Chain A
């Protein structure tokens, strides 16, 4: 099956710093990528939809200035958590949709962010 690689898998940062998370589709072109956030023992909540070459579409309640999303190519999307605070600590996971298929959705391995 198609592979989506997410990096880093774990990151610890200090309050006030920024953290960048990368999501790559390794063997297919992802016209659309999605960023989800998951708190412990909860479900995945969609944060934003990222389309190559255009601005991301954010879900209601998600601060676009805090969670910067860039989708510069058909294989790479990045999520930058700016001025991180402890409440931003969470599990972030990306998903990519292949242009040719709407019956599949491929996920990265996820990034566990801890802000201290």
Chain B
């Protein structure tokens, strides 16, 4: 079974608007962490935001926020006030407590910001 599912292969958003990228996960481990990364065409993986399974509040980092719904096992990324430079691939990833820190990635969503 897929551990991390990203159902949107591609998304468009108008510059300055907000966009939500979906991510659902599957785990039986009560302790886990969820990550979002941005990958521009250069290939580097840019860390955006982290949410721990025991965190009471949704994580926020600047224009990025994570809509964490634990019961639904979803961890959607919200990007506010989109910029042209936000156009990239976005990956959701999960790390489980007993996984030796390894990250398992979703299939990714390609975001294109329109001027």
Contact = CB atoms under 8 A, between A and B. Distances in A.
Contacts of A93: 43, 45
B102 A49 contact: yes
A43 B47 contact: no
A43 B33 CA distance: 19
Interface of A: 1, 32, 34, 38, 42-46, 49, 51, 57, 91, 93, 95, 97, 102-107, 109-110, 112
Nearest to B110: A41
A49 B33 contact: no
A107 B44 contact: yes
26 contacts: A1-B47, A34-B101, A42-B107, A43-B91, A43-B105, A43-B106, A44-B45, A44-B91, A46-B102, A46-B104, A49-B102, A51-B100, A57-B100, A91-B43, A93-B45, A95-B103, A103-B33, A105-B35, A107-B37, A107-B44, A107-B45, A107-B47, A109-B42, A109-B43, A110-B44, A110-B45
A51 B42 CA distance: 28
Contact of B50 (A1, A46, A104): A104
A106 B43 CA distance: 14
Contacts of B108: 42-43
